[in-house]
Amino acid sequence: MKAPRPAGNLAASVRAGARSALEILEEHLAAIESGDGAVHAFNLVTADQARGEARAVDRVVEAGDDPGLLAGVPVALKDNLCTRGVPTTCSSRILEGWRPPYDATVVTRLRKAGAVMVGKTNMDEFAMGSSTETSAFGATRNPHDTNRVPGGSSGGSAAAVAAGFAPLALGSDTGGSIRQPAALCGVVGMKPTYGAVSRYGLVAFASSLDQIGPFATTVADAALLFDVIGGHDARDSTSLNRPTPRALSVLEDGVAGLTVGILSEFLDGAAPDVVARTHQAAEALTRAGARVEEVSVPEVRLGLSAYYLIAPGEASSNLARYDGVRYGLRVEAEDTAAMNIATRSAGFGPEVKRRIMLGTYVLSAGYMDAYYNQALRVRTKIIEGFAAAYRTCDVLLGPTAPTTAFALGAKTDDPLTMYLSDVCTIPSNLAGHPAISVPFGAGDDGLPVGVQLLGPALSESTLFKVAAVVEAAAPALAAPSLVAGGRS
Amino acid sequence: MKPGWEMVIGLEVHCELKTATKLFCGCPNMFGDEPNTNVCPVCLGLPGSLPVLNQKAVELAMAIGTALDCEIRSSTFHRKNYFYPDQAKDYQISQYDEPINVNGHLDLPDGTQVGIERAHMEEDTGKTSHSGISGRIHGAAYSLVDYNRSGVPLVEIVSAPDMRSSAQARAYATELRAVLVASGASDGKMEEGSMRVDANVSVRRSSDDPFGTRCEIKNLNSVRSLGRAIEFEAERQIVLIESGERVVQQTRHWDEDAGRTVTLRSKEDAYDYRYFLEPDLVPLVPDAEWIGAVADTLGLMPAKRRSRLIELLEDAGGVTDAQVDQVATVVDLGLDELVIAAAAGGVASSLALTRTANEAATDADRARRLDPVSYTALLTMEAGGSLSATQAKAVLADLLVAGGGDPAAIAKAKGFEVMSEDSLTSVIADAVAAHPDEWARYCEGGEKGDKLAGFFTGLVMKATRGQANGKAVAAELHRLRA
């Protein structure tokens, strides 16, 4: 069976001269115009610039040349990806007025592939959150029910793809920030192996965990986007200098002979309807010829605790540069130190401040070994635990998020409950491994459920082909209604 | 130093590496350019930028390690977190507990040795200028920051607390500067800040006592300031202790004009730098082949070059204190190869050293380019008596200008000929006859009388316009007196 690839088909039609990039863009701009008032997926729609890019693609086709794999495909960018001359805010007041003088490597690669950048999507401030509610510019709403959150932190990108504002989007995933909103919005989202995609131009949250990855409506389109953005980049020292897995070419190879482990620890805390969907996905894999068995990686239970020491620790350092001296917000005060404090007090929201304080504390003299270093030891244990599982399994299967999308405001007063949304996604970040969330029908509330496939480092090709089998077996999901309460 | 007390000194030297580009980006590493012109997203610490380690900087750091006999090993980078406007990211990328170079030493000209604990890599900060007369941040109406220096590669060389006098500390700084220049790692310009020295100073009553509480002194902009600051600080600490007070561990600022150190911050105010492994960089693991290739490009260090000359002199019968100074001068000016070449060509090492230290050294830039074959030929003629010292110096001047040539041809063109023995004898006899009183005193001998040999030699040289061989004149005077 041929995996569906709507974005791939759009590019094919533009490359063949059957459709114009401008016409495709205008359709999507119209969808944004009519729908984004209810969703608020975008911080900024760069319509005029996008029209210029689309026309340029069309001229290339007219000249008989090939604009590339993503010719004329509109792509939405999370607002923590630097775009030359275009505001990049991380949904924070502290970056007010800042326009990067350079493009992120992934943006450069999208341009080279003929993609058209439609705008910058909303996110949790500095990617710190699981609901896109910590944005300084207001929450993004779930297109399936605008009273619900889209997940986060890449909620704007997930919602944009789910709502049909763009066929493709990029997000970043530090603890699940691509996969969890993908699951909650009913789209495909993938976090690559650490180092598979260059981080140059991604505004850092937690550098040892951050990875840029694709959102798409289908597995094949996500694979296409991954193929375009991946590969070594000399500007990122942690970029892997080895051939990137080519995801799209092996997509339809099937799962016969593969062993899939259902990760029991991920089922433990999940809602019954989510657990049921996960088992249903496992059955589909069995039918397709995979060997499915239950496995345990007890170390992943420690992931959440380790993550909330490591990520804030790195963030406290990464966010120090927002001091009012060189760019962004400055609140004047009597001397430099007072200006630093006034600027940071006014510019950061409460969740960012919480994590900076937490991170500063865990790195402090006298506490570092008990907290930060201990978390690093746990991280090593998690890597070892996964390694043991991958001696018998090719991939692991579990839910992406413990529940379907929750109501706006439901968890904003209780950070710990909010943090638990990422319990199934964090371990892959700590291990540096790839993982993908694939929509698999709806929960009891009719909202999307995502199942997650995890693999060892550089197993993207395997993940995508298993994901394609899951996708083919997925129960139908109602189209997003873009209204409160979902489809009536 | 006050009797009954001993200083203990350790130095931390920051050395800017002479690379074409900065440590983590491709911006030019250039002193003195228009402010904020050599900058990019990386060295401005813009959001989303990432550091990429400069290979040449690593090689120069390894060259320093090799020159200081360090163990060169796998290393990592950490972040040192603190807020300051000239710190673009509000953290500095620096090597912390796993530096590239450890456990070396530096041999000083006086024969003492100072241990090198580590020589690690880090990035420089930008440069802040504060408005107002104090030039310091407190009380300034505004401050300007130039980020051209942000990200310039540094190696920080940390000595063991092995030095016991300000003179030794000055000798260490001078010798280290020579090593940094000789290794090609740095231009060693203290006045441009490419070499910056901080001193850790403590005092104790006896070398058997444990180390006293130390103070770190910053803002030492010359070797002279270093010596003055150490002397002042040691005296300050001794006065404190002798009056029953205690030295408080603190960082102090050297005020050059006032000639004193003042408190900058005490230990209680010390920053908590929250060091942690820099996640944007990977471990630096140089293999033996790379380390060897860097070592192969390294010339001889000053200490080795001095010892080569000393060995030559010792082989020829011994070394005087004056010759030790001449050796230091010759090596410092990079003229030791001339001496080695002349000695290898059969010239007495003492003559080769003297001509090089006294004459060639006055035009060192040209002397470094002088053809050693011509130089050796010239000194051979002088040693053999076919040129007087005065004539040899005149020929050398021409050789230096031309970069070489045939000294015999130059001597001939100048009309230099060795005087016949008969005519020399007659000139000397004339001089003696014209100055009977001086001759009488010379003949009396003794310390005063012997000095008059110089008087008569001078007369002869004047009469012959320098063509007389000085040694032959001395021999004839001696013969006449006897």
User: Looking at this predicted complex, what is its ipTM?
Assistant: 0.96
Residue B48 with chain A: CB contacts under 8 Å:
80-82, 88, 100, 104, 200-204
Q: Which of B130, B280, B281, B282 is the best mutation test for A, with the most CBs of A within 10 A?
A: B280
Contact A82 B48 (CB under 8 A): yes
Residues 49-78 of chain B whose Cβ lies under 8 A from any Cβ of chain A = 49-53
**pLDDT attached to residue A49:** 98
Residue A95 with chain B: CB contacts under 8 Å:
47
Contact A364 B280 (CB under 8 A): no
B269 touches chain A (CB under 8 A): no
Contact A208 B281 (CB under 8 A): no
Query: Which helix (DSSP H) or strand (DSSP E) does residue B158 occupy?
Result: strand B153-159
B219 touches chain A (CB under 8 A): no
Q: Are B407 and B399 in contact (CB under 8 A)?
A: yes
Residue B281 with chain A: CB contacts under 8 Å:
237-238
Q: Are A66 and A157 in contact (CB under 8 A)?
A: no
The minimum CA-CA distance between A469 and chain B, rounded to whole Å, is 36
Q: How many residues does chain A have?
A: 488
Nearest beta carbon to residue B279 from set A208, A316, A364 = A208
**pLDDT attached to residue A405:** 97
Question: Cα–Cα–Cα angle for B33, B38, B44, nearest 5°?
Answer: 135
Assign A487 a pLDDT band (cuts: 50, 70, 90): low
B274 touches chain A (CB under 8 A): yes
Question: Cα–Cα–Cα angle for A184, A32, A48, nearest 5°?
Answer: 130
Residue A372 with chain B: CB contacts under 8 Å:
276
Burial of A100 from C-beta contacts in 10 A (0-12 / 13-18 / 19+): buried
Contact B85 A337 (CB under 8 A): no
Lowest mean pLDDT among A124-138, B31-45, B120-134: B120-134
Instruction: Give CA separation, B28 vs A307, B23, B146, B194, B350, in Å.
Output: 39, 10, 14, 15, 46
Question: Cα–Cα–Cα angle for A150, A155, A161, nearest 5°?
Answer: 90
Contact A320 B89 (CB under 8 A): yes
Q: Which of A197, A336, A364, A372 is the best mutation test for B, with the most CBs of B within 10 A?
A: A336
Question: Cα–Cα–Cα angle for A457, A462, A466, nearest 5°?
Answer: 130
Q: Is the pLDDT of residue A123 over 90?
A: yes
Beta partners for B256? none
pTM, to two decimals: 0.89
**Residue B303, token pair as written in the block:** 């200490």
**Helix, strand, or coil (residue A118):** strand
* A287/A76 Cα distance (integer angstroms): 36
**pLDDT attached to residue B452:** 87
B276 touches chain A (CB under 8 A): yes
Contact A368 B91 (CB under 8 A): no
Contact B45 A326 (CB under 8 A): yes
Contact A204 B48 (CB under 8 A): yes
Per-residue pLDDT reduced to its tens digit, B131-162? 776 666 666 778 899 999 999 999 999 999 99
- One-character DSSP codes across B368-433: TTS-HHHHHHHHHHHHTTSS-HHHHHHHHHHHHHHT---HHHHHHHTT--PPPHHHHHHHHHHHHH
Buried b (16+ CB within 10 A) or exposed e, A119-139: bbbbbbbbbbbbbbbbbbbeb
Q: Are A425 and A453 in contact (CB under 8 A)?
A: no
| Mean pLDDT (chain B, rounded) | 92
Assign B405 a pLDDT band (cuts: 50, 70, 90): very high
Beta partners for B116? B104, B159
Buried b (16+ CB within 10 A) or exposed e, A75-99: bbbbbbbbbeebbbbbbbbbbeebe
Q: Are A95 and A88 in contact (CB under 8 A)?
A: yes
B31 or A379, greater pLDDT: A379
Residue B52 with chain A: CB contacts under 8 Å:
234-237
Per-residue pLDDT reduced to its tens digit, A204-237? 999 999 999 999 999 999 999 999 999 999 999 9
Q: Is the pLDDT of residue A488 over 60?
A: no
Distance of CA A319 to the CA centre of its chain: 20
**pLDDT attached to residue B134:** 64
Per-residue pLDDT reduced to its tens digit, A90-115? 999 999 999 999 999 999 999 999 99
**pLDDT attached to residue A253:** 87
B142 touches chain A (CB under 8 A): no
Lowest mean pLDDT among A169-183, A246-260, A387-401, B230-244: A246-260
**Residue B267, token pair as written in the block:** 């230990």
Which residue does chain B place closest to A316, by CA atoms? Answer: B81
* B380/A460 Cα distance (integer angstroms): 78
**pLDDT attached to residue A245:** 67
Per-residue pLDDT reduced to its tens digit, A275-333? 999 999 999 999 999 999 999 999 999 999 999 999 999 999 999 999 999 999 999 99
**pLDDT attached to residue A1:** 56
Nearest beta carbon to residue A372 from set B47, B276, B281 = B276
Assign A243 a pLDDT band (cuts: 50, 70, 90): confident
Per-residue pLDDT reduced to its tens digit, A60-79? 999 999 999 999 999 999 99
Q: Which of A224, A222, A282 lies closest to A258, judged by CA? A: A282
**Which residues of A are catalytically annotated?**
78, 153, 177
Question: Cα–Cα–Cα angle for A298, A303, A305, nearest 5°?
Answer: 120
Which residue does chain B place closest to A95, by CA atoms? Answer: B47
pLDDT, mean of residues B242-249? 95
Per-residue pLDDT reduced to its tens digit, B265-318? 887 777 899 999 999 999 999 999 999 999 999 989 999 999 999 999 998 888
Contact A365 B274 (CB under 8 A): yes
Q: Please, which residues have CB within 8 angstroms of residue B319's CB and are 6 or more apart in sequence?
A: B310, B313
Q: Which of A194, A202, A164, A163 lies closest to A82, judged by CA? A: A202
Contact B47 A208 (CB under 8 A): no
Q: Please, which residues have CB within 8 angstroms of residue B271's CB and are 6 or more apart in sequence?
A: B82
Per-residue pLDDT reduced to its tens digit, B39-77? 999 999 999 999 999 999 999 999 999 999 999 999 999
Q: Is the pLDDT of residue B443 over 60?
A: yes
Contact A364 B81 (CB under 8 A): no
- Domain positions in chain A are 6-300+386-473, 301-379
The minimum CA-CA distance between B291 and chain A, rounded to whole Å, is 21
Nearest beta carbon to residue B90 from set A200, A236, A320 = A320
Residue B279 with chain A: CB contacts under 8 Å:
206-208, 238, 314
A392 touches chain B (CB under 8 A): no
pLDDT, mean of residues B353-376? 94
Contact A237 B281 (CB under 8 A): yes
| Mean pLDDT (chain A, rounded) | 96
Residue B88 with chain A: CB contacts under 8 Å:
321, 326
Residue A342 with chain B: CB contacts under 8 Å:
none
Q: What is the CATH number of domain A6-300+386-473?
A: 3.90.1300.10
Residue B46 with chain A: CB contacts under 8 Å:
100-102, 327
